[in-house]
Amino acid sequence: MRTGIFLSYAGGFKEAVEDVVELEKVGVDIALVAEAYSYDAISQLGYLAAKTSTIELGSGVVPIYVRTPSLLAMTAAGLDYVSDGRFRLGIGTSGPQVMEGFHGVPFDAPLGRTREVVEICRQVWRRENVVHDGRHYQIPLPADRGTGLGKPLHLINHPVRERIPITIAALGPKNVELTAEIAEGWQPVFFLPEKADDVWGDALRSGSARRDPELGPLDVMVSASLAIGDDVEDRLAWAKPQLALYIGGMGARGQNFYHKLATRYGYGEIADHIQDLFLAGKKAEAIDAVPDELVRSVSLVGTRGFVKERLAAFAEAGVTTMLVHPLTGDRRESVRYVEELQSLLP
């Protein structure tokens, strides 16, 4: 099992990069930068590439709707170049809340668009003339939709690699099935190992049956809050705001993927309550309503013995990369947590 670090998109990025520099020294394998309605991930990944030398870097994730497929491919090739072949492209659809509420673009056809984006990116990296006649993207643009002057082009530069790994963030069964079929990696959120097979097992098996062997095994990249010690029980509360935000506020009723996931885990009534409070503007109460049991089951917070047991459960559920978010404001403690984690890996 690999270890990774997940950088917050909410601020303090330069300070977080200094943490990554220290974590690189102790052998952390990968660092991911998220993108929401925040600073963009790309500029920060370029900064991170300049500050590091061996750790793999990735977007975790950038939404497919706000950049053309060719631009995503160009950007990934550029980041792979400045990082000397250390970049992994993490993509996802985000959700209607961010796409329509912040970017003003329709949230439509997530499955079809994702498949076509992956196809076009790989075509660009191979330096082929980009020719794609899909349902959602047509390259070159047909004459009846443009000037008729567009001709197929290929990437001017020679990429460091013609196959940059792609990770897809997916939660719904059809999205997960597609990911298992076409991507090098899968990035679920709020992963509860004991429930993973019930929620995603059939989709993973179905997608894997159509998987190209050249992709290799699917890298299951799971994020979890981290705090190790005999007196870290209070850190469970540190992880609750994110769970409350996603379950309660990332989408309207019936259109919240994270609420649906919590429901599939068996927390339907609690998820409804959190959502009611959050949408009513009672955010503090929504945070308080997140049960310790849920936080503990999707995190690595507790004694060494407890964290070792949870790591074994994650490994048994197929996790290959643990992306951790240390629950601390102290760099030395953050590094210590990660070093202890590495000593407990199965």
Is 16 in contact with 47 (CB distance < 8 Å)? Answer: no
Q: What is the pLDDT of residue 148?
A: 87
Could you give the CA distance from residue 224 to residue 111 in angstroms, rounded to a whole number?
26
pLDDT of residue 199: 96
Are 183 and 159 contacting, i.e. CB atoms less than 8 angstroms apart? no
At 68 the pLDDT is 97
Per-residue pLDDT at 16: 84
Tell me, what's the pLDDT at 76? 98
Nearest to 156 by CA among 77, 87, 84: 77
- Across residues 41-68, what is the average pLDDT? 96
Q: Mean pLDDT over residues 143-162, rounded?
A: 94
Under a CB-based contact definition with an 8 Å cutoff, are residues 294 and 243 in contact? Answer: yes
Rg (CA), the chain: 20
What is residue 252's DSSP assignment? S
Note the pLDDT of residue 275. 96
Which of 157, 82, 164 lies closest to 127 in space, CA to CA? 157
Q: Shortest CA distance to 52 belongs to which of 29, 83, 73, 27?
A: 83
CB burial readout 243-257, b (16+ within 10 A) else e: bbbbbbbbbeeeebb
Predicted local distance difference test score (pLDDT) of residue 233: 95
133, β-bridge pairs: 138
Q: How confident is the model at residue 311 (pLDDT cuts 50, 70, 90)?
A: very high
Cα 136 to Cα 294: distance, rounded to the nearest angstrom: 39
